[in-house]
């Protein structure tokens, strides 16, 4: 790939505080001092969770093609596998919390940001302050790691509660199993029935669960996820469209092109060009 400023950059979890630190708290300003302002120019795809609480200032942050205004009291969450783009011109005070993550990267049907009311904002700040104190005390022992992981889970639960909708508050088991199967085998099949056979639910049961949560059939959910991954790779890598199609399980480049055009009203090359002009 060409290092053009548009190539996606995978980012792993690595903390200078302690090699085994499970959760790290850092201000946005200190992060920029650590990695350099040029780091913000390129989009990246972290393999870990990033929570960002905005304290003051204005700006934008983009997560999977969704520009999010940075305003005080807003909590943003980038999940493993999502692509984020930093706005180097943003002038904001914010605290970021990084956490190692295991398992499936995606968490389903959740927005990437929420606005915290006064009580939830106070709770979020308290949890982040606790993590910061424990980070300074961390010595690599298992109880401390578990404590930090549990406090981070509490922050995650606060975020989930703040942005949950009636349909996503309790996700049906067939839906979770289906989405997990898609994530672990994306591109293995374009037929929802194949995933259904592997997870022990009928395609009809899965479709009912999908429609309850998203309004889409199982096939619609699968197609939506394929389109998202195609957009990520087209916008943020220099891979040929044919290679992207093959990675997503399309046997022919023309089939991928037709699929993408049908679901986005754009050809892959057109989408790639427009996404880079917009940047």
- Residue-wise pLDDT tens digits, 60-71: 999 998 899 999
84-86 β-sheet, strand order: 9-11, 44-46, 84-86, 60-63, 66-69
Identify whether 96 is part of a domain: yes
Give the closest residue to 52 by CA, choosing from 69, 36, 23, 74. Answer: 74
Kindly state whether residues 117 and 15 are assigned to the same domain: yes
Domain stops at, among 97, 129, 163: 163
Q: Give the total number of structural domains in the chain.
A: 2
Identify whether 119 is part of a domain: yes
Kindly state whether residues 199 and 260 are assigned to the same domain: yes
| Position with higher pLDDT, 246 vs 279 | 246
Kindly state whether residues 69 and 23 are assigned to the same domain: yes
Kindly state whether residues 156 and 222 are assigned to the same domain: no
Contact between 54 and 73 under an 8 Å Cβ cutoff? The reply is yes
Q: What is the pLDDT of residue 55?
A: 96
Domain stops at, among 163, 197, 214: 163
Kindly state whether residues 14 and 148 are assigned to the same domain: yes
Q: Is the pLDDT of residue 268 over 90?
A: yes
Q: What is the pLDDT of residue 3?
A: 35
| pTM for the whole structure | 0.78
Q: In 236-271, which positions are buried (b, 16+ CB within 10 angstroms) versus exposed (e)?
A: bbebebeebbbebebeebeebbebbeeeeebebeeb
Domain stops at, among 144, 163, 182: 163
Task: Give the up-direction half-sphere exposure of residue 24: CA atoms within 13 A in the CB hemisphere.
Answer: 17
Kindly state whether residues 135 and 197 are assigned to the same domain: no
Confidence of residue 96 (pLDDT cuts 50, 70, 90): very high
- 202: which residues sit within 8 A by CB, 6+ positions away? 196
Task: Give the up-direction half-sphere exposure of residue 28: CA atoms within 13 A in the CB hemisphere.
Answer: 22
The residues pairing with 9 across neighbouring beta strands, listed in sequence order, are 44
Note the pLDDT tens digit of each residue in 255-267.
999 999 999 999 9
- 231: which residues sit within 8 A by CB, 6+ positions away? 65, 264, 271, 275
Question: In this structure, what CATH number is given to the domain that contains residue 256?
Answer: 1.10.10.60
Q: What is the pLDDT of residue 2?
A: 31
Kindly state whether residues 25 and 130 are assigned to the same domain: yes
| Position with higher pLDDT, 137 vs 235 | 137
Kindly state whether residues 194 and 150 are assigned to the same domain: no
DSSP state of 41: G
Confidence of residue 82 (pLDDT cuts 50, 70, 90): confident
Give the closest residue to 46 by CA, choosing from 271, 236, 219. Answer: 236
DSSP state of 79: P
For residue 175, with 0-12 CB atoms within 10 Å meaning exposed, 13-18 middle and 19 or more buried, which class applies?
Answer: buried
Q: Is the pLDDT of residue 247 over 50?
A: yes
Residues of the chain with pLDDT > 90: what percent? 64
Kindly state whether residues 127 and 182 are assigned to the same domain: no
Identify whether 2 is part of a domain: no
Contact between 42 and 9 under an 8 Å Cβ cutoff? The reply is yes
Q: What is the pLDDT of residue 170?
A: 76
State the average pLDDT for the chain. Answer: 87
Identify whether 200 is part of a domain: yes
Question: In this structure, what CATH number is given to the domain that contains residue 133?
Answer: 2.60.120.280
Hey, is 211 helix, strand or coil? helix
Which of these ranges, 49-58, 97-106, 150-159, 209-218, has the smallest mean pLDDT? 97-106
What secondary structure does DSSP assign to 104-135, as a single string?
-S---S--SEEE--HHHHHHHHHHHHHHHHHH
Kindly state whether residues 21 and 144 are assigned to the same domain: yes
Give the closest residue to 64 by CA, choosing from 110, 126, 16. Answer: 110
Kindly state whether residues 146 and 195 are assigned to the same domain: no
Question: Whole-angstrom Cα distance, residue 90 to residue 85?
Answer: 12
Contact between 116 and 122 under an 8 Å Cβ cutoff? The reply is no
Identify whether 4 is part of a domain: no
Kindly state whether residues 38 and 77 are assigned to the same domain: yes
Identify whether 100 is part of a domain: yes
Identify whether 3 is part of a domain: no
Hey, is 143 helix, strand or coil? helix
Q: Which domain holds residue 210?
A: 173-278
Q: Is the pLDDT of residue 104 over 50?
A: no
């Amino acid at each position: 790939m060409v290092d053009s400023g548009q190539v996606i950059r995978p980012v792993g979890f690595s903390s200078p505080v302690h090699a085994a630190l499970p959760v790290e708290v850092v201000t946005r300003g200190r992060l920029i001092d650590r990695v350099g302002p040029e780091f913000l120019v390129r989009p990246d795809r972290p393999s870990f969770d990033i929570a960002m609480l905005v304290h003051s200032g204005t700006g934008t942050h983009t997560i999977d093609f969704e520009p999010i205004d940075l305003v005080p009291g807003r909590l943003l969450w980038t999940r493993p596998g999502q692509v984020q783009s930093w706005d180097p011109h943003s002038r904001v005070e914010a605290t970021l919390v990084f956490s190692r993550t295991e398992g499936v990267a995606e968490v389903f049907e959740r927005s990437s940001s929420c606005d915290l009311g006064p009580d939830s904002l106070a709770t979020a700040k308290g949890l982040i302050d606790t993590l910061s104190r424990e980070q300074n005390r961390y010595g690599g022992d298992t109880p401390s790691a578990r404590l930090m992981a549990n406090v981070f889970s509490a922050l995650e639960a606060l975020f989930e509660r703040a942005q949950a909708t009636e349909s996503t508050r309790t996700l049906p088991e067939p839906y979770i199993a289906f989405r997990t199967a898609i994530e672990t085998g994306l591109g293995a099949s374009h037929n929802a029935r194949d995933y259904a056979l592997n997870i022990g639910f009928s395609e009809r049961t899965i479709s009912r669960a999908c429609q309850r949560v998203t309004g889409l059939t199982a096939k619609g959910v699968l197609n939506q996820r394929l389109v998202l991954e195609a957009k990520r790779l087209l916008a943020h890598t220099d891979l040929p469209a044919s290679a992207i199609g093959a990675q997503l399980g399309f046997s022919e480049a023309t089939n991928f092109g037709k699929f993408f055009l049908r679901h986005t009203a754009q050809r892959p090359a057109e989408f790639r060009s427009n996404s880079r002009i917009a940047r």
